[in-house]
C-alpha cells in the first residue's frame, strides 16, 4: 500500500486496472494492487499521461471544475484566443481543450479566420506576443516613404498607407508589392547614338520622377522603370539624329529640354511625374576626341599669339610716349639718365677713374656724358 497526497492546487486521476475512474480532490489517498493515482496541477491544462482528454471529459466531476472549448469544427477556419484572469495567454488552433477553473478564470474568444482581415474587436495586446504573431498572423510593415499594394491570392485588394498591418494566416495567400513614394532618379548610362554627320556618341542622361498612381503603376505596367528608360532613350535618339556633332555639343541644354518635354507627354501613360532631366556627359570616340583636342590647342595658341602681339604693341606705344616726353623736357631726360646710372651702380662692385683731375671733377664729367649714356643705356624708339 502506498500513500498519495493531493494538495489544494492539485487534482488526482484515479485509475483501476488501467481504466479512468474519477477525479480526486485535495486529500490523502492510498493505492494498492492495480489502483493508480496520477497527480496533476490545476494551473496547467487538463491532461493525463494515461488516457486521452476525451476519456477524462466523460467525468461529470471534471466537467464541473473545468472550462472546455472546442475550436474549428468540420469545414470551419477558427482559432480561439485564450485569456486567464483577463490576460491573454495563448492562441488555440483546431481541437478540444480543457482548463481547470480552480483558482483561475479562463475565457475563450472564438475567431473566424476564413478571411485574412482582422476585425477591430480583437485586442491589440495579442499582437505583441511573438509566438502568437509567428504562428497565426502575417505582419506587414510599410515604411513612411512607402505604400504597399495588397493582394489576397494575387488579387488586388487595396492600397496600404505607411504603418503596421496584421492579417490572419489561413489558406489564402497574403502578399504585397512595395512602392517607393520618394523622388527617384533614373540614370541612363552609355547610350550610343549616331549624329546626322555619322559620329557615334555615348550620352549619359539622368531624369528625376515621382510616382503618382501607386496601384496602376504596379498592376498595369510590367516594369515601369524599364518603360521610363525606353521612353527617355527614344527621345534622346530622336534629337541627336537630327543634328551634327558640333550642334549637339553646343546645344546640350536644348537636348535636355527636348527630352523632358517628351517624357512629360507620357506622364499619364506611365503614372509618374517628371520634375527634371538633363545630360550628364557626352563621350566622344577616341579619334574624334583627339581631333577636338588638336583644334582646341590650335585655338588656344592663336589666342595666346594675339594677346602677345597686343601686349607688344602696348609696350611699344608706352616707350614712344616716354621718349616724346623726355625729348620735350630736358629735366625729365636728365632724371632718366640719373635713374639708369643708379641702376648701373647697384650692380657694380667698384668704379675706376683714369686721367687727370680730382674724383669730383671726373664724376661730374661722367654725369654729363650724354652721348655715352644715350648710346649705352637709354632705349630709343
The secondary structure of 254-288 as a DSSP string is: HHHHHHHHHHHTTHHHHTEEEEEEEEEEEE--HHH
| Mean pLDDT value of segment 238-246 | 86
Residue 150, C-beta contacts closer than 8 angstroms, at least 6 positions apart: 140, 156, 157, 158, 159, 160, 174, 175, 176
Which of 151, 266, 257, 142 has the alpha carbon at shortest distance from 212?
266
- 161 has pLDDT over 90: yes
What is the pTM for the complete model shown? Answer: 0.64
Which of 188, 195, 284, 190 has the alpha carbon at shortest distance from 247?
195
Per-residue confidence band for 268, with pLDDT thresholds at 50, 70 and 90: very high
- 377 has pLDDT over 50: no
State the Cα–Cα distance between residues 147 and 338, nearest whole angstrom: 89
| Mean pLDDT value of segment 95-121 | 90
| Mean pLDDT value of segment 210-215 | 92
Which of 97, 7, 23, 13 has the alpha carbon at shortest distance from 62?
23
Judge contact between 84 and 44, C-beta under 8 A: no
Q: For the chain, give the number of residues.
A: 381
Of 286 and 83, the structure prediction assigns the larger pLDDT to: 83
- 367 has pLDDT over 70: no
- 241 has pLDDT over 70: yes
pLDDT in tens, 322-347: 777 777 777 777 777 677 677 777 76
State the Cα–Cα distance between residues 285 and 290, nearest whole angstrom: 9
Question: Which of the given ranges, 87-91, 199-203, 314-318, has the highest pLDDT on average?
Answer: 87-91
Of 176 and 75, the structure prediction assigns the larger pLDDT to: 176
Query: Which of the residue ranges 192-196, 201-205, 285-289 would you say has the lowest mean pLDDT?
Result: 285-289
State the Cα–Cα distance between residues 261 and 275, nearest whole angstrom: 11
- 180 has pLDDT over 70: yes
**pLDDT of the residue at 375:** 46
State the Cα–Cα distance between residues 126 and 250, nearest whole angstrom: 66
Instruction: HSE, CB side, 13 Å, CA atoms: give it for residue 127.
Output: 15
Question: Which of the given ranges, 32-46, 116-130, 272-286, has the highest pLDDT on average?
Answer: 32-46
**pLDDT of the residue at 379:** 47
% pLDDT > 90, the chain: 39
What residue spans of the chain are helical by DSSP H? 53-56, 60-64, 130-136, 216-219, 224-240, 245-250, 252-264, 267-270, 286-328, 330-346, 359-367, 370-376
- 289 has pLDDT over 70: no
| Mean pLDDT value of segment 356-365 | 56
Per-residue confidence band for 286, with pLDDT thresholds at 50, 70 and 90: low
**pLDDT of the residue at 140:** 92
CA dihedral (136, 149, 122, 104) positive or negative = positive
Of 220 and 358, the structure prediction assigns the larger pLDDT to: 220
Q: Beta-strand (E) ranges in 32-145? A: 35-41, 66-71, 78-84, 87-92, 95-100, 106-112, 137-142
**pLDDT of the residue at 117:** 92
Amino acid at each position: 500500500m502506498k500513500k498519495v497526497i493531493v494538495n489544494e492546487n492539485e487534482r488526482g486521476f484515479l485509475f483501476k486496472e488501467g481504466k479512468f475512474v474519477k477525479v480526486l480532490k485535495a486529500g490523502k489517498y492510498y493505492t494498492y494492487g492495480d489502483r493508480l493515482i496520477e497527480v496533476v496541477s490545476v494551473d496547467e491544462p487538463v491532461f493525463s499521461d494515461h488516457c486521452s482528454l476525451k476519456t477524462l471529459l466523460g467525468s461529470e466531476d471534471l466537467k464541473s471544475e473545468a472550462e472546455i472549448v472546442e475550436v474549428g469544427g468540420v469545414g470551419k477556419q477558427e482559432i480561439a484566443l485564450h485569456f486567464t484572469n483577463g490576460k491573454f495567454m495563448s492562441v488555440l488552433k483546431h481541437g478540444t481543450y480543457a482548463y481547470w477553473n480552480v483558482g483561475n478564470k479562463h475565457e475563450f474568444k472564438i475567431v473566424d479566420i476564413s478571411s485574412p482581415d482582422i476585425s477591430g474587436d480583437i485586442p491589440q495586446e495579442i499582437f505583441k506576443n511573438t509566438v502568437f504573431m509567428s504562428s497565426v498572423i502575417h505582419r506587414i510593415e510599410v515604411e513612411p516613404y512607402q505604400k504597399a499594394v495588397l493582394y489576397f491570392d494575387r488579387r488586388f485588394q487595396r492600397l496600404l498607407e505607411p504603418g503596421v498591418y496584421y492579417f490572419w494566416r489561413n489558406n489564402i495567400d497574403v502578399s504585397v508589392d512595395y512602392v517607393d513614394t520618394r523622388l527617384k532618379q533614373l540614370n541612363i548610362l552609355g547610350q550610343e547614338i549616331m549624329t546626322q554627320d555619322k559620329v557615334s556618341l555615348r550620352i549619359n542622361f539622368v531624369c528625376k520622377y515621382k510616382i503618382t498612381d501607386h496601384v496602376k503603376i504596379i498592376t498595369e505596367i510590367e516594369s515601369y522603370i524599364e518603360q521610363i528608360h525606353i521612353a527617355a532613350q527614344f527621345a534622346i535618339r530622336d534629337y541627336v539624329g537630327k543634328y551634327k556633332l558640333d550642334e549637339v555639343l553646343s546645344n546640350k541644354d536644348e537636348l535636355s529640354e527636348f527630352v523632358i518635354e517628351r517624357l512629360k507627354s507620357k506622364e499619364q501613360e506611365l503614372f509618374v511625374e517628371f520634375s527634371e532631366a538633363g545630360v550628364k556627359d557626352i563621350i566622344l570616340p577616341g579619334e574624334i576626341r583627339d581631333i577636338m583636342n588638336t583644334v582646341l590647342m590650335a585655338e588656344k595658341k592663336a589666342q595666346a599669339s594675339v594677346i602677345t602681339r597686343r601686349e607688344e604693341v602696348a609696350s611699344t606705344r608706352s616707350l614712344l610716349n616716354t621718349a616724346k616726353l623726355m625729348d620735350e623736357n630736358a629735366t625729365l631726360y636728365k632724371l632718366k639718365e640719373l635713374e639708369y646710372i643708379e641702376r648701373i651702380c647697384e650692380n657694380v662692385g667698384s668704379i675706376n677713374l683714369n686721367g687727370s683731375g680730382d674724383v669730383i671733377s671726373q664724376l661730374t664729367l661722367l654725369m654729363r656724358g650724354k652721348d655715352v649714356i644715350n648710346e649705352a643705356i637709354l632705349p630709343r624708339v
